[in-house]
Amino acid sequence: MGLLYLDLHSQPCRAVFLFARATGIPFKFQLVDLTKGQQYSDEFGKVSVMRKVPVMKDGSFILTERYEQRIMGKLVRLKTTHVTVSVPAFHPLQVQRKVCKSDHMG
């Protein structure tokens, strides 16, 4: 089960949240209240260096705000398999490396 860091005032966060709820995909929700500056906390800084939401964390695998479409894509794959397992099961190490590589390349 993935952990989603979201602020529902943010449109990309709402899209991820509503999609996960509408499709019945299990997830844990962690509110990051941007109006209170919670994105600048040390705890959230360990998850997102850029300190932006949405962020999806599953174990040591993290997708950051630049990838809200990818976050939703991973949730789609979880739903279409009809199996509830963690995201890394669908994203072997080489895919995780590809995501990280594209993150660094812009």
Output 75-80 pairs: Cβ under 8 A, ≥24 positions apart. 75/16, 75/19, 75/20, 75/23, 75/25, 75/27, 76/23, 78/25, 79/23, 79/24, 79/25
Residue-level pLDDT at 89: 47
* Mean pLDDT for the chain overall: 77
Residue 65 has pLDDT above 80, yes or no: no
- Residue 29's pLDDT band (cuts 50, 70, 90): very high
CATH of 2-105, one of 2.30.110.10, 3.40.30.10, 1.20.1250.20, 3.30.470.10: 3.40.30.10
Q: In terms of Cα–Cα distance, which of 39, 45, 65, 68 is closest to 53?
A: 65
pTM for the full model? 0.69
